[in-house]
Amino acid sequence: MEWKVSNFNIVLPFKEKKYFIYNTRTTSSIIVDDSFYQNLYFNRVIEKNSDELQLRAMGFIVDAGINELDALKNLWNISKCKVDTSLKTILIAPTMNCNANCYYCF
């Protein structure tokens, strides 16, 4: 099956000849050596079938025909439908150590 590297990957150099790869959609992260990085990003080759399964599961590679942005928009729309809209008030109290003594505060 054809695959491509995810658009949500962030690659940072890490130590000598290693790379830290973080996927912002799945929040997965890995550290790979230079040869694995070169094969993944430039040669588009993954040597082991189990590596491909793990990279797919963690979101680092996706099917070539998938539009990742559309898939993320669909996920967003689905999650919006699950929000309880009956909520009328939100009270944010970051700390109880406030000394302003406002008359309206609980």
pTM: 0.69
Q: Strand locations in the chain, DSSP E?
A: 3-5, 9-13, 18-23, 29-33, 61-63
Quickly state the pLDDT bin for 2 (edges 50, 70, 90): confident
1-10, 42-51, 53-62, 82-91: range with lowest mean pLDDT: 82-91
* Per-domain boundaries in the chain: 3-66
Distances 92 to 29, 72, 83, 87 between C-alpha atoms, Å:
32, 29, 19, 14
- pLDDT: which is higher, 105 or 36: 36
> Using one digit for the tens of pLDDT, what is the confidence trace for 26-58?
999 999 999 999 988 888 887 677 788 899 999
